[in-house]
A and B are shown apart, each in its own frame.
Chain A
Amino acid sequence: MSDLDDFKATYFDECSELLLELEEQFAAIEDGDRSSNRLNAVFRAIHSIKGGGGAFGFSGLVGFAHAYETLLDHVRDGRVELSEAVTALCIRANDIVADYVAAARDGTELAEGYGAEEKHQFDALTSGDPDLGSESMEEFDIDFVPVMVTIAGAEDELAAEPFDLAVLDDSFEAPPLSPETGHWTIRFTPHSELYARANDPLLLLRELATLGDVEVNARVDEVPALADFEPFGVYCAWEITLRSETATEATIAEVFEFVEGNCDLSIERGLVPSAEDMLDRTMEETAPSPAELIETAEVAPGAEAAPVLSFAELAESMKPALKAAAPVMPAPLKPSATASEEPEGDNDRRSGPEDRRNGVQSIRVDLDKIDRVVNMVGELVITQSMLTQQMDETLRARYQELVRGLEVLAQTTRGLQDSVMSIRAQPVKTVFSRMPRLVRELTAKTGKKIRLETIGENTEIDKTIIEQLSDPLTHMIRNSADHGIESPEKRVAAGKAEGGVIRLSAEQAGGNILIAVEDDGGGINRERVLQVARERGVVGPEQQLSDEQIDQLIFAPGFSTAAEVSDISGRGVGMDVVLSNIKKIGGSVHVKSWTGKGTRMTLRLPLTLAVLDVMLVKVAGSPYVIPLSSIVETIQCARANFSRMPTGAQVLQVRGEYVQVVDLATRFAMGTEIERDNRFVVLCEAEGGVKVALIVDDIIGQQQVVIKSLEENFQSIEGIAGGTILGDGNVALIVDVQGLKSQALNHKSAA
C-alpha cells in the first residue's frame, strides 16, 4: 500500500465519522435546535470532507461540497434563513455527499450531474451574494497542504486539525465589540465541594453561553508550582464577560443556581478588562507552569472538539478568535463533540493531570490486533479458572500462599478482561445514526409520514455485534415502514395521528443488550400471516397456533405477506436475515404485536461474544455446557414431578407450570447408564419466556468458556450452538437451548 493509499484510507475513515456527525447535528436541528454551534459543526464537517477530497482530486465531491458549504456559510451568517425547506435540502445534501464519498472510496462513478438539482438550489439560495459564490476552487489545495505533513507524522487524530484551523478564523470571529449592548462581568470561583458534588464548570459556562456572547478567561494566579500541586486541589477561577441585550442579573444567577454556596460568584454590570489585556495576563500568569497545562476549551457557540494546540500556536490563534481560554486543571474541561452532549467519563474527570487530554487523545488500532488480545485474554480466563478448579481442599490447606496468589490472579484476570472488552465496546450510536437516512428514503418511497425516534444510543456493545446489527436493523425498520405504519389516510381513519412513529431503542439488561424497533402501525395481520403460512405449507392445515406463535412466523425463510414485491420489501428475505444474523451472534429475536396499535420487535444480544458463563454438565460420558444466562434452576430427578401427557410425551410440573422435557441423552442419540433418579433436570428458559427442562446425567460446575466455532472446520449441528475447550484440553459442546426447544415443537407437530 502506498503512502497515498494510507492517507486515503485515513481520509475515508474520517469522512465516515464526519458524516455520522452531520447526521447527528441535523437530527438535532430538525428537532428545532437552531443554535449556531450546530451549524458550525456542520460547516466544519463539510469543509473537512471538501478539503481532503480536493487533495485527492475527487472533483465531483469537491464541487458539490463547495456549493453546499457556500449555502451553509450564508445560513450561518443569517443571509439565508434556516427554514424547514432549507433543512430538508441540507439533509438531502448530506446523503449526496455520503454517496460521493462512497463512490470515491469504491472507485465507482456516480451518474453525470448527480446532485445537480440540489446544487442548483444552493446556487439559487446563495446567488444574492456573488462574491462568495465565485470563490475560486484552487483555495482548497492550499487548505490541505498542511494536512499531508501532519498525517506523515502518523497522528491520525490530528489530521483533521488543520481543516479546523482553517475555518477557525471565520467560524468564531466575534462580532466587533459594541459597547452599547448589555455587558456583564461574572467572576466565578468554584470551591472543591462544587467538584465533589459532581458539578462541571464547563456545563455552567456553556449554559451561560446560551444567554449571549461570552468571553471566558481563566484565572490561574492560584496555580502553585508543580511541586506543591495537589491533583485534587482547586486552583482555577473564571472571569466571564457576557454581552447580551436580554440577560439580567437574575437570569445569570439562575445559571449558577445549583452550585450556590459551593462557589464565590460576583455578577457586575459593565466591561472590566479588555480581552487583549486578559490574554496578556493569562499568558504571563501561566508562563511558569508547564505549557502543556493549557488547552483550549471553547465554550461559546460553536463549541466543538478543540484541537490541542501548543502554547505558541494557542497564542497565535487566540488573537483573532479568542472565545475562551481555560486551563484544564484541576477540572479538565473535556471538549465534547456537541455542546448538548453529556461529557462522558465523569469519574475520570478529576483523577489527575494525566487525564487532561482524554477527550482528544486516541489511536486507531487494527481490529485484528484487538481481537488477538481478546482471544488471548479469553484463553487466560479459562486457564485461570482451570487452575482454580485444580485446587482441592488438601492443596488449599497446604499451600495458602499459592491460594492467595491464585485469588489475586483471578481478580487481575477479571479486570484485564473487562478492560479489553471495553476497548471493543462502542455505542450503538454508530449504527443507529445510519437509520434516519433510511427512514427518509422510505418516507419518500412509500409516501407515508414517518418519524424516527432513537433512545439509548449511548448504550455500549461489542463492536462485532454492532457490525452485525446494521443489516437486521435495516430490515426491521423497512418492515415497520412498509408493513407496520399505515398510509396517512388509513391512520386518520383509525383515529391516529397522520404521521407514524418508529422508535429505535437500546438498553442494557443484565448481561444482555435489548434493542427494540417499535412502530405505532396496524400490527401484524395474523389472519393473513396464517393464511399465507398454510398456503406455503409452513404450518400444517390442522395445526392450531397461538397469536404469539403466528407472530413468530414472519421470521420463516421466504415468508412474505406482501401482495406484490416492491423495491422496499416483499421478497420474504428480510426477517429471515434478521433471525439468522442475530442467531449467529448468539442473540434472539422476539416479536410482539398489538392489532391496530403497533408492533415491537426486540433483539436480545449478548454484551460480548468472547466469553460465556456456562454450567458444565455430563451427558453419556461427554461434557456439555449450557449457557448460564438461559438456566432458571436445577432439580434432582428424584425430586422432580414428572407426568405424562395423553400422547405419551413427558412433562415436568414446576410450580404449577407444565414444562416440556428434553432428555439430552435420548435427544442426542447417546446411551446413558445412569439411573433416572440420579440424573438432574436443568430448567432453561428459551426465547419468549418458554421453558424447557433438559435432563442431564450430572452437573459438574460453573465456569467461563470461550466460544469456538464448529463451522470453522466442520459444520453446524442441530441442537449444538458451538464448542469450547475445557481446562483439561477436551472439547465440550455448547447446548443450543433455543434450537432444542424449537425442534421439540416441530417433533411434536409432526407427530
Chain B
Amino acid sequence: MEALAFKDDISGGAVQAANSMQLIAFSIGEQTYGVEITTVREIRAWNGATPLPNTREFVRGVINLRGTIVPIFDLRARFGEGQTSPTKNHVVVVMSVGEKWVGILVDAVSDILTVSKDDIHNVPEGNSIDTELLNGIVTHDSRMVGLIDLHAVVSGASSKLDS
C-alpha cells in the first residue's frame, strides 16, 4: 500500500500548481476524509495496540513505531459512530501534528487527490462534531471529502474527568 501511495505521489506531484494541494484520502465506511499529504509520515497495516487506561473510547492505545510510542486514534469512534473492530485489513495513517506523531485508524486508504484550494468549502453549521473535527469540505470527482482537523481530532483524549 505504501509503495502504491508513493508512486501516485510522484506522478501527481509533478503537476502540482501553487494554488493546489494534495490530499491523502481514506475511508471510514462510505465516508471519505482527507489530510494534507505533507503531514503523513507513514501508512501501516493495523497490528494491534496496547490499550491505555483512563482514556476516551476513541483512543485505541499505543504502538511502537521504531522505538517511540505513538498513540492511535480511532477516527470512526472520534466521529461518535462506535469503535472500529479492526482487522489486518485496516490501516493506520501515521501523521505529525505539530511536534507529535499520532496514528489514525481508518478502514482503508483510497487515493491521492490533487485539489485546488479554491474548491475548499466551509463546513456547514449544524452538526457540531463535523464542525469541530473538519477544516473544510472539498468535492472531488463528485465525491465529498472532509478535510480532517488533526489538532481537533487528537485533543481531549484523556478524559475520565469530563465523563
Contacts and interface: CB of A to CB of B under 8 A. Distances in A.
B55 interface: yes
Contacts of B68: 708, 712-713
B26 to A, nearest CB: 20
Interface stretch (B46-54, B75-83, B122-130): B46-54
A258 interface: no
A733 B67 CA distance: 14
B70 interface: yes
B62 to A, nearest CB: 5
Contacts of A411: none
A731 B54 contact: no
A719 B67 CA distance: 22
Given A713-B100, A714-B157, A670 B53 contact: yes
Nearest to B155: A715
Nearest to A729: B64
A719 B52 CA distance: 10
Interface string A702-717: 0000001110111101
Contact of A713 (B49, B54, B61, B69): B69
Contact of B69 (A379, A622, A670, A708): A708
A712 B54 contact: no
A723 B54 contact: no
A668 interface: yes
Interface string A597-622: 00000000000000000000000101
Given A709-B69, A725-B67, A720 B52 contact: yes
A664 to B, nearest CB: 8
B98 to A, nearest CB: 10
B64 A622 contact: no
Given A725-B64, A731-B63, A710 B69 contact: yes
Contacts of B49: 731
Contact of A717 (B48, B55, B64): B55
Contact of A670 (B51, B67, B100): B51
A631 interface: no
B116 interface: no
B34 interface: no
A649 B34 CA distance: 50
Nearest to A720: B53
A20 B35 CA distance: 54
A732 interface: yes
B151 to A, nearest CB: 13
A207 B154 CA distance: 68
A718 B159 CA distance: 10
Nearest to B50: A731
Contacts of A622: 50-51
B146 interface: no
A712 B55 contact: no
A182 interface: no
Contact of A714 (B50, B64, B67, B100): B100
A613 B114 CA distance: 51
A714 B54 contact: no
A750 B68 CA distance: 37
Nearest to B62: A731
A452 to B, nearest CB: 41
A250 interface: no
B53 A730 contact: no
Interface size class of B (residues with CB under 8 A): 20 to 34
Contacts of B67: 379, 708, 725
B33 to A, nearest CB: 21
Nearest to A732: B50
Contacts of B71: 710, 713-714
Contacts of B39: none
B141 to A, nearest CB: 34
B64 A669 contact: no
Contacts of A620: 51
B60 to A, nearest CB: 12
Nearest to A715: B158
Contact of A715 (B53, B63, B64, B157): B157
A533 to B, nearest CB: 23
Nearest to A619: B53
Contact of A718 (B54, B62, B63, B100): B54
Given A730-B64, A731-B62, A714 B69 contact: yes
A130 to B, nearest CB: 63
Contacts of B55: 717
B69 A717 contact: no
Contacts of B145: none
Contacts of A729: 64
B50 A717 contact: no
Contacts of A714: 62, 69-71, 100, 102, 157
A584 interface: no
Interface string B122-162: 00000000000000000000000000000000000110100
Contacts of A586: none
Interface in A662-676: 667-670
A620 B62 CA distance: 16
Contacts of A725: 64, 67, 69
A623 B62 CA distance: 12
Interface in A364-422: 379
A746 B157 CA distance: 22
A9 B51 CA distance: 47
B54 A668 contact: yes
A725 B65 CA distance: 10
A723 B158 contact: no
Interface string A508-550: 0000000000000000000000000000000000000000000
Given A713-B69, A713-B71, A714-B157, A623 B50 contact: yes
B27 to A, nearest CB: 25
Contact of A712 (B50, B51, B100): B100
A733 B71 CA distance: 12
A117 B7 CA distance: 74
B157 A723 contact: no
Contacts of A719: 53-54
* Residue from B49, B51, B158 with most neighbouring chain A CB atoms (10 Å): B51
21 contacts: A668-B54, A669-B53, A670-B53, A708-B67, A708-B68, A710-B62, A712-B100, A713-B68, A713-B70, A714-B62, A714-B102, A714-B157, A717-B54, A719-B53, A720-B54, A723-B69, A731-B61, A731-B64, A733-B50, A733-B53, A733-B62
Interface of B: 48-55, 61-64, 67-71, 100-102, 157-158, 160
Given A622-B50, A717-B52, 5 more contacts: A713-B69, A713-B102, A714-B70, A720-B53, A723-B62
Query: 10 closest A-B pairs (Cβ-Cβ)?
Result: A668-B53, A731-B50, A714-B71, A723-B69, A713-B100, A725-B64, A731-B62, A708-B69, A713-B101, A713-B70
